[in-house]
Amino acid sequence: EARVTLREVDKEKKRILVDTVCTVRGKVVLDGEAKLMVAKRAQAEASNESKTVAAE
């Protein structure tokens, strides 16, 4: 199981901080945090469209 929990939102820098936990058969095998850059909606939609076309 993989679980991601939103910890912090930085609207000015367009970043989020999340806590991550991965378990296998109830035992934690990965525990950490990740800082992610959030794309603008138009950029994300264009990126997803180009990936869909490339996959076809």
- Following DSSP, what letter does each residue of 17-34 receive, concatenated? EEEEEEEETTEEEEEEEE
Taking the whole predicted model, whether its pTM rises above 0.85 is answered as no
Element (H, E) at 50: helix 41-55
Kindly list the domain boundaries of the chain, sorted by start residue: 2-55
Is residue 40 very low, low, confident or very high in pLDDT (cuts 50, 70, 90)? confident
Is residue 56 very low, low, confident or very high in pLDDT (cuts 50, 70, 90)? very low
Q: What is the pLDDT of residues 7-39, one digit of tens each?
A: 999 999 999 999 999 999 999 999 999 999 988
